[in-house]
Structure 1
Amino acid sequence: MPRPTSDVHACEAHAPDADLDDLHARLAAARLPEAETVHRAAPARRRWDQGVPLADLVDVVNYWRTEYNWRLFEERLNRIGQFRTTIDGLGIHFLHRRSPRTGATPLLLTHGWPDSVARFIDVVDELADPKDADAPAFHVVVPSLPGFGYSDKPTATGWGTERIAAAWVELMGRLGYHRFAAHGGDWGGNITTVLGGRFPAHVLGIHTLFAEGPPGLTTDGLTAVERRWAEETHHFWRHRAAYAKQQATRPQTIGYFLVDSPVGLLAWILDKFAEWSDTEDSPFETISRDRILDNVTLYWLTRTGASAARIYCESHNSLDPELRVDVPTAVTMYPRDIEKCPRPWAQERFRQIVRWTVPERGGHFPSLEVPEYFVEDLQEGLAAVLTAAR
């Protein structure tokens, strides 16, 4: 079994008590606006038309201040195994769970925004040591993106998705994993695409929730469902993507608000968990308050609201139109995700799709919304990928 090089160091998470006391004091002193003016007679998505409803936010803030226990999340991270290394001058944090199984495959999982390594916290153990003896097992590596969580914040421009993908190859090599599989959604899906396209000598194959085809493709020949997907994605970017435009153009400005106000940070992130999850009203129908607060508190304690937003400034709309992925690829399009690409479009970029899945349930955060299904789908998708890679 490979061992980390001397450039990789174990670490543990433990926030100072003073930082948690400061968080609780800020929550208690929060100044809130009046309630939204949209219809609120019954639970429904309409309640969120102007953003996070006041009553919902007050409920979560009170829970965050009086009941939520950050130390439990720290313990989870420490049990999985946390490490740091410096790549290209930047400190990178990552989780690393080795499988006890002989012949396990190295697997890189990359998160996106507005999440973090918390996206995968509930699935790492099952991927590394599955209960089903016939399921594939993986040595799981989950890095924090630059500027996210416990990774360092870049002090200059240049840390876009292409550079991050190259850093991930270096990271896996330092762990002794010179050939590996990769998975991602959101920015993680973009980075996974770059990994498969730029580094086929290192990447056995990929599983992605983000299969963006090259630009300029026609809708001719698409099915009715595929046309609807294309229309919904266009509508999303035209009418529901103000957050991305803000972070792509003025991340520093919004960063003051995200780093100074825990309530503002919570609302900014909770809004996306609500809008992008497969629920009828609240994200808490499928994702626990604790898990969302694990994610938000990680942003808060590491002061990464601004630095995380900069990935949009670095890489928004930057996926190379000419990039093609020839390694085996498995694609899963969850029904309530914010972008769903028609398969004929995806095939123009991903030229060896070995599995294409459209589940009945799930949104943008399936590892948190439907973790059991997510693990099974990822295992089956990567099994198909690894078979094709032999």
Structure 2
Amino acid sequence: MARHDDAPTGGLSFPAAGTGLLVALVGYASSVAVVIQGLAAVGADTAQITSGLVAVGLSMGLAAIVLATRQRKPISVAWTTPGMALLAATGPVAGGFPAAVGAFLTVAALVMLTGFWTSLGRWIAAIPKPLANAMLAGILLKLCLAPFAAMTQAPGLGLLVLAVWAVVGRFARLYAVPTAVAVALGAMALTAPDTGALPASLWPSLTLVAPVFTWEALVGIALPLFVVTMASQNIPGLTVLATFGYTPRVPPLFLVTGAFSALSAPFGAPTVNLAAITAAMCAGPDADPRPERRWQAAVVGGLGYIAFAGLAAVTATLVLRSPPILIEAVAGLALIGAFGGALLGAVQAEDERVPALVTLLVTASGLSFFGVGSAFWGLVFGGVMHALHRWRPAGKPA
């Protein structure tokens, strides 16, 4: 694959601009329910969720614009969807939402540290891939079951959302989740009985949350969130760019995304990171036949995320007024593809299959010790099994 490191950039690319708008629409609509559910699970109220959506939209939009403009490469930035699924699976932590904000700040600092100290990134990359994938699959499993549970608890709406996702996905897979989200939001608006619950002002506002640092949140949220962000977002994002011939300078990527994450975290925003799926959209030939102009797609996508931040109040209110199982159903549909990829990566290697399955099952079980969530313990138990499978008595051949 040819490299595009020093090619001229040219003028405005209308295909790239169109792709950037599509990236923002797909990226936002496909997983905003996951973000809302994750923030709500760790104790955020409606005002804090609205603030978090505003801050994270501004953060990932500005980070994408800065990185793509300075490096002239289609570097797309997104929120950590698997990380938000982790929050949804973890639930309340000691210290409430301020402790979760402290965990967000810790992850941001670790990401920035990765930019300065490359050994930290290598350590994360050294975690056996089957175990990292198994942890992610365990985190996603419960959410991916929700669309089918919704048909029991809210059969009409659940079946409608699932049918729309299935039919649209048959002909245009890229639009399946956004269309299902649009149908779900419409159903939420039409069926919500309390119209007085609409926000007094549709203009979103920021709410400052003073961070609290607890060891339960640091070990139960920050550490797994950092591992998930690096293993399932940043490293795949770099791989996608390399697939299309782009080799950006890596330290600035982590420094910029970590810095914007740190600035936005006190307003309730989760971590931002390199995108993978939308990175492929920006870096691919559909963005522009000329590779040297595709960076503009990432810039326009960033502008789109900033624009969507203005919808935070309406989006948060509509989603939070809906039946919780319907929120989970929409979130689960958005994560089925990620679950399938993680599951395949977990069990593909036969010699790592048992440790990976232990990791997956412990993570999915909701096991908790000392206030620390199951994602951490999944890696611990799986790591022990991995070590046992690799250990051989002295003098015995492998």
TM over 0.5: no
Q: Pick the structure with more helix per residue.
A: 2
Q: Pick the structure with more strand per residue.
A: 1
Taking structure 1 as the reference length, what is the TM-score of the superposition?
Answer: 0.27
Higher RCO (Cα < 8 Å, 6 or more apart) = 2
